[in-house]
Chains A and B, each alone.
Chain A
Amino acid sequence: MTAITSSLRDITFEQQLAQRQRRGKILEIAALIAILLGIAMLLTLLVDVVIDGLPWLRPQLFTEFPSRFPEKSGLRSAIQGSIWLMVFTSIMVIPIGVGAGIYLEEFAPRNRLTEFIEINIANLAGVPSIIYGLLGLGLFVRGLGLGRSLIAGALTMTLLVLPIIIVTTREAIRAVPRSIRLAALALGASQWETARDHVLVYSMPAILTGVILAMSRAIGETAPLITIGALTYIAFDLRGPLDIFTVLPIQIFNWVSLPQKGFHDLAAAGIIVLLVLLLSMNALAIWLRNRLFIRW
């Protein structure tokens, strides 16, 4: 009797095992297809862009202004605009974002108010960028009378990436072991000294990674800048933060929408430039993280 039941159990177990393993195999293949699909799609896009854009990737692309002739067109004004936008945005967003993160993590009392603020920051990180564009249009362009200037664009971008930087800063700080804070405090360091000399130093690589990733998001944004009135055709050098401007994605967008094939290839070259810029920013983030990483 026992022998029968045990062998019966074995049979069902083995059957089930084979079935479970089959199911596992199917899921594995499905997952593999999913990743292959993603990679294939990315590769197709990259290869397509590189084939179209590579012949146009020449010095004039960086030294010339846009023109009605594709062969005379370049990204000079757009590259200037993008770089300066990054510089001004980071000058404004890094102190505010990192400062807010430090306050919320290290100093703020845990109460309803801070909870409310935290929820809102998390929600703000998910607001579509066009909304920030409208906010920037109302607040900076018209409200503060900054016009369609680079600084209005940088302020809008600051608002856009601020929540991201606050959230990553807080996560970075939270990863610092509590024992380090306690050790510093036990040796008589004030709360601020602890934060400055220990917590911040240890969390810096992760904070920087977050900042650079947030910046690479800002450099690829188009919608909010179009909303605040960044221009499409600019054929002169940028004169300062109050000057009108254009950026790489807007120039690319404009070239793609023109009827002539030459401009479409030129747009592909512009995409390569933007892609290289983005990838090098991400590489910088990884390098910084590895270089500054401190073991405790």
Chain B
Amino acid sequence: MSRVRFVLFLVVAFSLVLAACAPAATPTPERVVETVTVVETQIVEKVVETIITPTPGPVEGTILVDGSSTVAPITVAVAEEFQKQYPEVRVPVGISGTGGGFKKFCAGETDISNASRPIKESEVELCKKNGVEYIELPVAFDGLAVMVNPANEFVSCLTVEELKKIWEPAAEGKITRWNQVRPDFPNQPLNLYGPGVDSGTYDYFTQAIVGKEGESRGDFLPSEDDNVLVQGIAGDVNALGFFGLAYYEENKDKLKLVAIDAGDGNCVLPSAETVLNGTYQPLSRPLFIYVNRQRVDQKDEISAFISFYLQKAGELVSDVGYIPLSPEIYQLAQQRYDKRITGSVFEGVGSTVGVSLADLLAKEGQ
């Protein structure tokens, strides 16, 4: 008897699970309106496409994206809008870091890789070994913010030299008090916070400040989660740390931004303006996506996605807290894509410091 009941129970439980999984999509008036405008824009785009390029196949399929957690919010925003317009295309986005993303990308496991720094020599080799060619496209600018606790009265500007003195490998266990950084700072302990060593942000910072990618002192508090760094710096009067500007923008009341003097005596605070016009150096960096060249021919939906990306990036990038490039650069990137120019304009050196909008424009224009 009890066994019969048990079997019955299992059947009911299983069918409940099945029922819960069935998609429950009911069209709302909003969606209908959206579809109408989507249809309109699709028609317009079809016309535009037929003028510019030969007619592509039906736009459907799956575009696999993975890579940097810094770039992911941008790609997610684009994917979200893109999937509204092309409901037949699925764009999942993974987050495994710039390096982890390139490992999968160069193994041919993904179509597009998000990257918060240009591709490295070792990754170029890996891609070459597996016969993966790629098109490099810049999508946004990001500033790395150096921050202290708001209660810290004495630091308002640091030179790159001073930052190097703090972060270089030789400083490990030696530079542990603020007055060792600059004699007129008080004799208080110096506590350091930074992103984990697997992140592109760490790679870029060490390249820009220490001069060698991936080399720094080891006795700082690392976290892959920037919110943990925010908490750390907000709760420690003697803290100094760095991470992406987007996280500062959301936590302005808990942190104090430090201006950076690149050596010419001008202290510059990071902002959309100073990052774009190239005065906030060397901690401004371009963000990229890498597209698998071979997949572009196999999957028409990738081209539709890239065009959409470069058209919409201008507005979507600022939505998620980053700094958009100028329309000219997006245009140059589109041209680069249309001509299927493969390889990196940074020639596989990895993080490249001091790339301003103008430099990027010149490089993309080549």
* Chain A residues near B (Cβ < 8 Å): 63, 66-68, 79-80, 83-84, 86-87, 147-148, 201, 204, 226, 229-238, 244, 246, 254, 256-261, 264, 291-292, 294
Contacts and interface: CB of A to CB of B under 8 A. Distances in A.
A232 B95 contact: yes
B335 to A, nearest CB: 28
Given A84-B21, A87-B17, A201-B3, A232 B225 contact: no
Interface centre among B90, B91, B316 (most CB of A within 10 A): B90
A6 to B, nearest CB: 64
Interface centre among A147, A148, A261 (most CB of B within 10 A): A148
Interface stretch (B178-186, B209-217, B246-254, B275-283): B246-254
A260 B250 contact: yes
B92 A244 contact: yes
Contacts of A258: 73
Contact of B92 (A86, A201, A234): A234
7 contacts: A67-B80, A68-B73, A68-B76, A236-B83, A236-B90, A257-B225, A294-B2
A243 to B, nearest CB: 9
A232 B94 contact: yes
Interface string B231-264: 0000000000000101101110000000000000
Interface centre among B23, B91, B94, B250 (most CB of A within 10 A): B94
Contacts of A83: 17, 20-21
Contact of A80 (B21, B72, B321): B21
B154 interface: no
A294 B244 CA distance: 61
Contacts of A84: 21
B267 interface: no
Nearest to B6: A292
Contacts of B109: 147-148, 229
Contacts of A231: 66, 92-94
A233 B93 contact: yes
Contacts of A234: 92
Contacts of B76: 66, 68, 233
B320 interface: yes
Interface in B310-347: 316, 319-321
Given A83-B17, A256-B225, A232 B72 contact: yes
Interface centre among B24, B83, B92, B93 (most CB of A within 10 A): B92
A50 B72 CA distance: 28
Contacts of B244: 259
A16 B27 CA distance: 80
Contacts of A201: 3
Interface size band for B: 35 or more
Contacts of A232: 72, 93-95
Interface string B72-92: 110011011001000000111
Interface in B120-153: none
B69 interface: yes
A242 to B, nearest CB: 12
Contacts of A229: 66, 94, 96, 104, 109
Contacts, number: 88
B226 interface: yes
A146 B224 CA distance: 29
Contacts of A256: 225, 227
Given A87-B17, A235-B83, A259 B77 contact: no
B321 A259 contact: yes
A232 B76 CA distance: 10
Contacts of B79: 233, 235
Given A83-B17, A231-B92, A233-B92, A259 B227 contact: yes
Interface string B54-72: 0000000010101001001
Nearest to B249: A259
Given A229-B104, A233-B76, A235-B83, A259 B2 contact: no
A67 to B, nearest CB: 6
Interface string B1-21: 011001000000010010011
Nearest to B76: A233
A229 B96 CA distance: 8
A147 B77 CA distance: 25
A232 B104 CA distance: 15
A68 B77 contact: yes
Contacts of A259: 226-227, 244, 246-247, 249-251, 321
Contacts of A226: 96
A245 to B, nearest CB: 9
A238 B92 CA distance: 12
B109 to A, nearest CB: 8
A235 B23 contact: no
A68 B81 CA distance: 10
Nearest to B26: A63
Given A259-B226, A259-B227, 14 more contacts: A68-B80, A79-B20, A87-B14, A232-B72, A232-B94, A233-B76, A233-B94, A235-B91, A238-B21, A257-B227, A258-B73, A259-B246, A259-B247, A259-B250
B320 A68 contact: yes
A246 B319 CA distance: 24
A83 to B, nearest CB: 6
Interface centre among B77, B91, B250 (most CB of A within 10 A): B250
Nearest to B243: A259
Contacts of A246: 92
Contacts of B316: 68
Contacts of B247: 259
